[in-house]
Chain A
Amino acid sequence: MSLFQLLAVPFIAAMLFASARNLLKVRARLVVSTLWVLLWLATLMAVIDPDSTTQVARALGIQRGADLLVYSAVLGFIVGFYLVYLKLRQLSREITLLTRELAMRDARDGPSTREP
């Protein structure tokens, strides 16, 4: 076993264990939890047996396993950024609505305003 494998395998195994436990305990977000388990399983397999990525790559019409990993990583990052961006937009919107709500509650009327 290489040094990298010695370092990576315990970490990935821990992440796999955590996400599997999450899948079993929390029934909500079933699809996302399942995807995480599958992702960690695939990562574990790629670290323990690097040649297996080449077999998967060939099956997909890509020459090398390393290329498959690069393509997957790029796609993963794009999707990740997109999801984070959407989340940020939503958060920003919620902060604005909350700020507005607080402002309305504490509104101070000036001398020029009349009660309706």
Chain B
Amino acid sequence: MTVQPEVCGGVWIVIAAYNEGAVIGDVVRPLVDSGYDVVVVDDGSRDATAARAREAGAAVLRHALNRGQGAALQSGLTYALNRGAQVVVTFDADGQHSASDVPRLVRPVAEGRADVVLGSRFLEHAAGVPVARRTLLRLAVVFTGVMSGIRLTDAHNGLRALSRRAAQQLDLQLDRMAHASEIVDQIVRTGLPILEVPVEVRYTPYSLGKGQRAGAAARIAWDYLLNKLFS
């Protein structure tokens, strides 16, 4: 898919990466080639993630300590906003997402139809999602629905686009994986228009190995609820 130049300018892709040296170059390159500004937040990796990302053409922020995906995304968001980003797209580092989906997410923001566009793997491509993963994600959708009061089809998809004003209002406190629910929560509270668009999520043995399991899901719910209770 070719990218329209007018939806490239001011678009920043934020990628949080932890020990993704093996794949990060292949993730960054198509995005840079499409004309996007890319920032990779190396979240205290012990491998060559930062070097590979830089070689592929990304700006690199390096967390000296591993603080979790939520913390890394917030760092990337802040960096992109400081650089004058008009649209910020969050993108997973493990190769699940494809660069060709980015224009679909950016367009509604660029056209002013939405401030937040969330990628959903269940709007068109649901068949490719492994059954165990699908069940877990359905639970996440219900959980997010109950807690944030919004009906989504996919609650924990790392591919999303935020307008500048939406990104400015985010202040992620949940450092680990529960940030996905927290993002939805904070966005709903701003009252800014939200849209879901279909995106493809590629399940490879690598990305499945990196993905969230049931135990991690319980941890996400626990982190999220604790934060609700104590903040």
Q: Which residues of B contact A93 (CB under 8 A)?
A: 173
Q: Report the bound CA distance from A108 to B38 in whole Å.
A: 12
In the complex, per-residue mask of B199-229: 1 if CB is within 8 Å of any chain A CB, else 0: 0000000000000000000000000000000
Interface size class of B (residues with CB under 8 A): 20 to 34
- Chain B residues with CB under 8 A of A100: 63, 67, 71, 74-75, 78
Residue among A106, A112, A114 making CB contact with B57, cutoff 8 Å: A112
* A107 on interface, CB distance cutoff 8 Å: yes
Contact B37 A103 (CB under 8 A): no
**Residue on A with the closest CB to B175?**
A96
**Chain B residues near A61 (CB, 8 Å)?**
none
Check B38 against A103 for contact (C-beta < 8 Å).
no
Provide the B154-165 mask, 1 if CB < 8 A to any CB of A, else 0. 000000000000
> Quick one: closest B residue to A107, CB to CB?
B61
- A110 in contact with B60 (CB, 8 Å): yes
Quote the shortest CB–CB distance from B44 to chain A (angstroms): 8
User: When the two chains form the complex, which single residue of A92, A95, A109, A116 contacts B59, counting CB atoms closer than 8 Å?
Assistant: A109
Within residues 75 to 116 of chain A, which ones have a CB less than 8 A from any CB in chain B?
Answer: 86, 89, 92-93, 95-96, 99-100, 102-104, 106-114, 116
In the assembled complex, the Cα of A116 lies from the Cα of B86 at a distance in Å of: 12
Please tell me if B83 contacts chain A, counting CB pairs below 8 Å: yes
Whether, in the assembled complex, B64 has its beta carbon less than 8 Å from a beta carbon of chain A, the answer is yes
Contact of A92 among B36, B41, B64, B175 (CB under 8 A): B175
Residues of B within 8 A of A110 (CB): 32, 38-39, 53-54, 56-60
Interface size on A, residues (CB 8 A): 21
B175 and A116 within 8 A (CB): no
- A residues within 8 A CB of B38? 110, 112
Contact yes or no, B37 A99, CB < 8 A: no
User: Of the candidates A86, A107, A112, A114, which one forms a contact with B230 in the assembled complex, judged by CB atoms under 8 Å apart?
Assistant: A86
What residues of B have a CB within 8 angstroms of the CB of A103 in the complex? Answer: 41, 61-64, 75
User: Of the candidates B37, B41, B175, which one forms a contact with A113 in the assembled complex, judged by CB atoms under 8 Å apart?
Assistant: B37
Q: Are B32 and A108 in contact (CB under 8 A)?
A: no
Q: Which residue of A lies closest to B33 (CB)?
A: A112
- Find the residue from A86, A100, A103 having the highest chain B CB count within 10 A: A103
Looking at B53, B58, B84, the one whose CB has the most chain A CB atoms below 10 A away is B58
A112 in contact with B58 (CB, 8 Å): yes
**Looking at the complex, which one of B59, B65, B71, B75 makes contact with A112 (CB distance below 8 Å)?**
B59
Is B37 in contact with A114, judged by CB distance below 8 angstroms? yes
Q: Inside 8 A of B54's CB, which chain A residues have their CB?
A: 108, 110
When distances are taken between beta carbons in the complex, the residues of chain A under 8 Å from B41 are: 103
How far, in whole Å, are A88 and B143 apart by their CA atoms in the complex? 27
Within 8 A of A (CB), among B94-130: none
One of A102, A104, A111, A114 near B79 (C-beta < 8 A): A104
Known A100-B75, A113-B39; further 12 A-B contacts with Cβ < 8 A: A93-B173, A99-B64, A99-B65, A100-B78, A104-B61, A107-B59, A107-B60, A107-B79, A110-B54, A110-B59, A112-B36, A112-B37
Q: List 27 A-B contacts (CB under 8 A).
A: A95-B65, A95-B67, A96-B71, A96-B175, A99-B65, A100-B67, A100-B74, A103-B62, A104-B61, A104-B75, A106-B62, A107-B59, A108-B59, A110-B32, A110-B39, A110-B54, A110-B57, A110-B59, A110-B60, A111-B57, A112-B32, A112-B36, A112-B38, A112-B57, A112-B58, A113-B59, A116-B84
